Amino acid sequence: MKVRRVRGTRDILPDRIRQWQYIEETAREVLENFGFQEIRTPLFEKTPLFSRSIGEATDIVVKEMYTFRDKKGRSLTLRPEGTAPIVRAYLENRLPTPAKLYYLGPFYRYERPQAGRYREFYQIGAETIGSDSPASDAEIISLTMTLLKKLGLKDLVLQLNGAGCKRCQPDYKKVLKDYFREKLNSLCADCKRRYRKNPLRILDCKSKRCQRYLAQAPAISDYLCDECKKGLDEVKDYLDTLKIGYTINPRLVRGLDYYTRTAFEIISKGLGAQNAIAAGGRYDDLVEDLGGPSTPAVGVALGTDRLILALEREGVRPPIAEGIDIYLASLGERANRRGFTLVQRLREKDLKVEGVLSSKSLKSQLRRANRLGARYVLILGEEELTKRKAILKEMATGKQEEMPLKRIVEKMSEKVRKRSEGL
Ligand SMILES: [Zn+2]
Ligand SMILES: [Zn+2]
């Protein structure tokens, strides 16, 4: 029986991994420059952490969570997003404020797989917990734009909106309900449920039936309270200071219930329907909702899979990974043995070395050395062993010379070092 991978998951193979490493390395660098520290939380949590925070009416909670019972019958869920676990960890570990935390890793949602969308997907995210300054919002946005630009993306649009707060959201929900009341019968089944539980979520509906009503629907921007308006203006001021351009999208509401005040999305223009590569905003009530003291917070998440699509679309290639320093091609049993210890000793000098594992022909070993980007090949056969020498071949020039086995480790590490210093 051949077992295959689960639908919506994938293997990230060595020939593609460079792209992932490039994104993750760049992200860590930018995030740490901005003063964020990494946090790692479990891949699964108790189910109520998500159902309570993301919202009972959201698609995520209603249909997309991987929820299961463990052997003691407890309901657990594979994390569908990063913010709630971080808020939980922040509270449970009593982290000092403001806590500026970042994470990268896999998340799980039972969605229909399509280009750039998987059931196991990867995100990079950052959260600032414990600051209500609009500077924090601007910092999160600026950090995201800096990262995207550093990765080499150009075709970006930042969309901004006010998502309302505890004071003004209820009024807006009422207005929305009034608007949708007479259309209720023509809405999809999901939206009928959303209408009862949280009419805001109708605005996320992807079905054609409902979308025709969305463009005319009242926009939250017309119902923001004075404090929300003022907060949004202050964020805009900070963005202006940093010369970060944005467009106001009065209909932008994020698909999770916990967002308040600032909401934003960054769109990569070439990507089509699934074009948001980063999204975030404020969630000033979430810490309190999860049992903590009232604590304002703001965050962002970037979808690594979409980032990769966007990089490909814009023709950005990650810098090529460095090849290995030395490939040791050995021929014959005795040379294999001698070669095996030699490889080990070279590695102890911090050189990248590969070889000896196959008893294949010299030709096929040289092919493998090429594939691995080896700078030097050492050839060790029966004849060389007798002469106590190895043949050294420089791959770039094809130049060959003999190298005495005595002191070969010192000589090779000196050669590699000089070459990498450009001497
Ligand atoms: Zn408000
Ligand atoms: Zn709908």
CA of 34 from ligand 1 middle (Å) equals: 29
**pLDDT tens sequence across 78-97:** 999 999 999 999 999 999 99
- Considering every ligand atom shown, identify the ligand nearest to the alpha carbon of residue 170 and give its number: 1
CA of 213 from ligand 2 middle (Å) equals: 10
CA of 179 from ligand 2 middle (Å) equals: 14
- Considering every ligand atom shown, identify the ligand nearest to the alpha carbon of residue 223 and give its number: 1
pLDDT at position 240: 97
Q: Mean pLDDT throughout 11-29?
A: 94
pLDDT at position 75: 97
pLDDT at 199 over 80: yes
- Listed in sequence order, the residues at least 6 apart from 226 whose beta carbon sits closer than 8 Å to its beta carbon are none
CA of 219 from ligand 2 middle (Å) equals: 17
**pLDDT tens sequence across 149-178:** 999 999 899 999 999 999 999 999 999 999
- Considering every ligand atom shown, identify the ligand nearest to the alpha carbon of residue 194 and give its number: 2
CATH architecture of 14-168+224-313: 2-Layer Sandwich (3.30)
Cα-based torsion angle of the residue sequence 142, 143, 148, 152 in order, rounded to the nearest 10 degrees: 90
pLDDT at position 96: 96
The domain segmentation of the chain, as residue ranges, is 14-168+224-313, 326-420
Using 50, 70 and 90 to split pLDDT, how confident is the model at 134?
very high
Which H or E element spans position 151? helix 134-151
pLDDT at position 273: 66
- For the ranges 52-56, 138-142, 212-216, the maximum mean pLDDT occurs at 138-142
pLDDT at position 115: 82
List Cα–Cα distances, 39 to 35, 48, 99, 100, 105, in angstroms. 13, 21, 11, 10, 11
Q: Mean pLDDT throughout 314-325?
A: 85
Q: What is the DSSP letter of 255?
A: S
CA of 202 from ligand 2 middle (Å) equals: 6
Q: Mean pLDDT throughout 247-253?
A: 86
- Considering every ligand atom shown, identify the ligand nearest to the alpha carbon of residue 210 and give its number: 2
CA of 46 from ligand 1 middle (Å) equals: 31
pTM of the predicted structure, to 2 decimals: 0.88
pLDDT at 1 over 90: no
**pLDDT tens sequence across 43-79:** 999 999 999 888 887 888 888 999 999 999 999 999 9
- For the ranges 54-63, 355-364, 406-415, the maximum mean pLDDT occurs at 406-415
Using 50, 70 and 90 to split pLDDT, how confident is the model at 423?
low
CA of 169 from ligand 2 middle (Å) equals: 20
Task: Confirm if 278 and 266 have CB atoms less than 8 A apart.
Answer: yes
Greatest alpha-carbon span in the chain: 94
Distance between CA 42 and CA 100 in Å, rounded? Answer: 19
pLDDT at position 356: 80
Using 50, 70 and 90 to split pLDDT, how confident is the model at 42?
very high
Q: Mean pLDDT throughout 363-390?
A: 93
Q: Mean pLDDT throughout 287-314?
A: 94
CA of 180 from ligand 2 middle (Å) equals: 11
- Considering every ligand atom shown, identify the ligand nearest to the alpha carbon of residue 202 and give its number: 2
pLDDT at position 421: 80
pLDDT at position 204: 81
Q: Which residue has the higher pLDDT, 271 or 175?
A: 175
pLDDT at position 208: 87
pLDDT at position 207: 86
Query: For residue 88, which phi and psi values (nearest 5 degrees)?
Result: -60, -45
Q: Mean pLDDT throughout 20-34?
A: 97
Q: Mean pLDDT throughout 279-292?
A: 94
pLDDT at position 4: 96
Say which CATH topology domain 326-420 has. Rossmann fold (3.40.50)
Length of the chain: 423
pLDDT at position 45: 98
CA of 139 from ligand 2 middle (Å) equals: 35
pLDDT at position 116: 81
When the pLDDT of each residue in the chain is averaged and rounded to a whole number, the result is 92
CA of 46 from ligand 2 middle (Å) equals: 29
Task: Confirm if 188 and 210 have CB atoms less than 8 A apart.
Answer: yes
Distance between CA 108 and CA 78 in Å, rounded? Answer: 6
Cα–Cα nearest to 322, from 377, 399, 374: 374
pLDDT at position 49: 96
- Considering every ligand atom shown, identify the ligand nearest to the alpha carbon of residue 225 and give its number: 1
Distance between CA 396 and CA 60 in Å, rounded? Answer: 54
CA of 192 from ligand 2 middle (Å) equals: 8
CA of 257 from ligand 1 middle (Å) equals: 15
Task: Confirm if 403 and 415 have CB atoms less than 8 A apart.
Answer: no
CA of 230 from ligand 1 middle (Å) equals: 9
